[in-house]
A and B are shown apart, each in its own frame.
Chain A
């Protein structure tokens, strides 16, 4: 049969690059910053880097589900800010971290249901549906806060500050949360029927429908997962900031898109994976961190990140097509 042995001779090198090119990219960036930025390769900075990236990673994991099923979620940036505010208001009024957490998760689920209903059930294109939801969320945020930040007082439960600022031994607590959710996402995407169906829909939604998968419901689920992950990241963010800012988290949209596209370039199958998303988040966060340390102006950081996105997408498209050449 044709296509029998894909790993023969010179293919090995290409195969290797295709699969691990992105990981190597991360290593190169790491090495370059270690050599050029004086305080980059220190345990303090690396732990800080990990803590910094935890929120982006968690948001991107949710996005990975959406994109794994062939969808897109433009509302995550604005959603982060809204949940941030709701969480703060509830905790200030109830003085209970758990009730506030529940409220945050509920808002996350609601946003996911809204996105999923519009996109999967009503049939709006993903970009339009989730973009519109993001716009509504922005309006609601401003309506609630009039654009003003919300500060916390001393009565707020201690556990609240622990979530974003605490340590377990030398390890920042958000890093532990991140590790947990990365593991959970990898497990769900690879080892469960949910993950199998999500990728099947992303691979061919019509064939998935014919195979009896409830495509609409599973797409809705991916948006709910995205909403939930935004909620969790939001709670960490609120705790880290010690205040609620209506505009907080807006940069997560561009960053998460970059992360998940980087994720699709890993392992060369054109689908985002849990581990790929972790590496992608590492790349983007290292760039944020390293470029700041090198005193690169913030506008130049945007230019760099945009370039990385283009690079990643081109790479994933080119690799994807190379792969798709029928033997």
Chain B
């Protein structure tokens, strides 16, 4: 199969020419020329909806291309399905973690490909063999991990490592990483990047997809930029610079990192959290003023989301209390909303959207009573509102009746934001508001938060992405393992380092 000359090492494993894909007459991917060499990290960047996902789905056999050709080791091939692509050694590490919680590490690694041994002609699971192989793979990654540990006891980065091991036991030639560092904290992110670099050294060709340009710049040999279904350019890392990539990604528009200029903080305290303790939180104290943006920093699993959940009445409070506008408040979802609290949840798909509902129905869901009298919906007014917000938030959609599941991540997030903007909330909880969304939408959302603070709302942003918090917050508090470990002014000297230190568990004196 493979040509026997010595230049094999430099030859492309994958080569595509003019690959395109159309759905129902719409070309979502056009004319993609792409190549991948062994031992190379080739990154794909582009805004959501630029065509990266469609392209890797073609490479991994999920979709068949509508035009163009794919060559593996120089011979043309059409993948019929995922199995077929896998038989050529192409494997994908998906963005979502897909582990069986109570299965232990090696069982998860071999799920669907269990090794068997023959006892009296019956195939029986060969646990010893599986454990051995799992250990080998994990050792190769330079990670210490007990293969007998159940998956639900692992933290996010270890779970990611199990996902990678799942792929590695098949000795792949190509690994596609789809946003592998999402939901990882800074330290874990670095470790994962090291691991990926290690894999590259073993000669595996790596296709890397990420929204994080720092990461892409650090790790890639080559970078390909996608926009609107087209390949804009492919560069060596040496020719690439973040500003250049960003300008290619967003086209003509120029992009500056968002920087908040003014602070609109008033003296009035909107929310005062006193000694708050839940299952996951221990004695949290903080308050937020009218017009203020408070950043809550912490690595994934540190307890940020739990703070938001406790305030919104989703988690039971064991000790302590929350005061709103100087008065008592017994949290429940309904009372939270009545008291002007809005929550933009971390998991857009699972916690935010009704996927089969239209853009309009998703926008009006929370304050539904605004558009109905005696329980009957006033559809004209509802449509009017939906159109108004689609316009106001520049939501890219075919219309208010389009199902929300067909929108890109950034636009979905704008739908959820619109839902709350209808209600004139006073305290906004934004949990990882820009997770997995494109540059332009991110900028829009930062601008929106700034504007909301200016209008006199109290904003709480929870994020594990520090640059974001530094640019948007008036004040940053840090949680670590359910405890508050520090408070910082983002403008103070070395704020970034100090906060990072605190996030990773170093207490502030």
Contact = CB atoms under 8 A, between A and B. Distances in A.
A193 B368 contact: yes
Interface string B365-378: 11011001001110
B269 interface: no
Contacts of B361: 196, 200
A197 interface: yes
B343 A3 contact: no
A5 B397 CA distance: 11
B334 A214 contact: yes
A2 B28 contact: yes
Contact of B28 (A211, A213, A327): A327
Contacts of B24: 3, 5-6, 8-9, 11, 327
A271 B28 CA distance: 29
A236 to B, nearest CB: 27
A228 B398 CA distance: 41
Contact of A203 (B23, B356, B402): B356
A269 B358 CA distance: 12
A116 interface: no
Given A192-B372, A193-B369, A210-B343, A204 B23 contact: no
B377 A209 contact: no
B354 interface: yes
A27 B376 CA distance: 33
Interface in B300-347: 312, 314, 333-334, 336-337, 343, 345
Contacts of A8: 24-26
Given A1-B396, A4-B398, A271-B356, A200 B365 contact: yes
Interface centre among B24, B333, B406 (most CB of A within 10 A): B24
A324 B365 CA distance: 22
Nearest to A192: B375
A208 B365 CA distance: 8
Interface string B79-103: 0000000000000000000000000
Interface string B55-88: 0000000000000000000000000000000000
Contacts of A212: 333-334, 336-337, 366
Contacts of B494: none
Nearest to B345: A210
Given A8-B24, A192-B375, A210-B345, A203 B49 contact: no
A200 B368 CA distance: 12
B352 A208 contact: no
Contacts of B405: 324, 326
A2 B23 contact: yes
A3 B406 contact: yes
B376 A192 contact: yes
B225 to A, nearest CB: 18
A115 B350 CA distance: 27
Contact of A211 (B23, B26, B366, B369): B366
B353 interface: yes
B351 A210 contact: yes
Nearest to B398: A4
A196 B334 CA distance: 17
A264 to B, nearest CB: 12
Contacts of B419: 211
Contacts of B285: none
A269 B403 CA distance: 11
B375 A1 contact: no
B406 A327 contact: yes
B34 interface: no
A209 B25 contact: no
Interface in A199-226: 199-200, 203-204, 206-214
Given A6-B24, A211-B419, A204 B406 contact: no
A194 B356 CA distance: 17
A191 B350 contact: no
A227 interface: no
Contacts of A5: 24-26, 398
Contacts of A276: none
A174 interface: no
A270 interface: yes
A37 B379 CA distance: 46
Q: Which of A9, A193, A203, A210 has the most CB of B within 10 A?
A: A210
B408 interface: yes
Contacts of B357: 199-200, 203
A212 B312 CA distance: 9
Interface string B358-396: 000100011011001001110100000000000000001
B355 interface: yes
Contact of A204 (B26, B353, B375): B353
Contacts of A6: 24
B354 A197 contact: no
A131 B28 CA distance: 48
B23 A209 contact: no
Nearest to B333: A212
A200 B402 CA distance: 16
B437 to A, nearest CB: 15
A6 B419 CA distance: 26
B40 to A, nearest CB: 29
B480 to A, nearest CB: 26
A326 B404 CA distance: 12
Contact of B356 (A197, A213, A214, A269): A269
A200 to B, nearest CB: 5
A149 B157 CA distance: 66
A5 B49 CA distance: 16
22 contacts: A2-B406, A3-B406, A5-B398, A192-B377, A193-B372, A193-B375, A196-B368, A197-B368, A200-B354, A200-B365, A204-B353, A206-B350, A207-B350, A209-B314, A210-B345, A212-B334, A212-B336, A212-B366, A213-B365, A214-B333, A214-B334, A326-B405
Interface of B: 23-26, 28, 49, 312, 314, 333-334, 336-337, 343, 345, 350-357, 361, 365-366, 368-369, 372, 375-377, 379, 396-398, 402, 405-408, 419
Interface of A: 1-6, 8-9, 11, 191-194, 196-197, 199-200, 203-204, 206-214, 269-271, 324, 326-327
The 6 A-B residue pairs with the shortest CB-CB distance in the complex, in nearest-first order? A3-B406, A8-B25, A203-B354, A212-B337, A193-B368, A211-B365
Given A200-B354, A200-B365, A327-B406, 14 more contacts: A3-B26, A5-B26, A192-B376, A193-B372, A193-B377, A194-B375, A200-B357, A203-B354, A207-B354, A208-B354, A210-B351, A210-B352, A211-B366, A212-B334
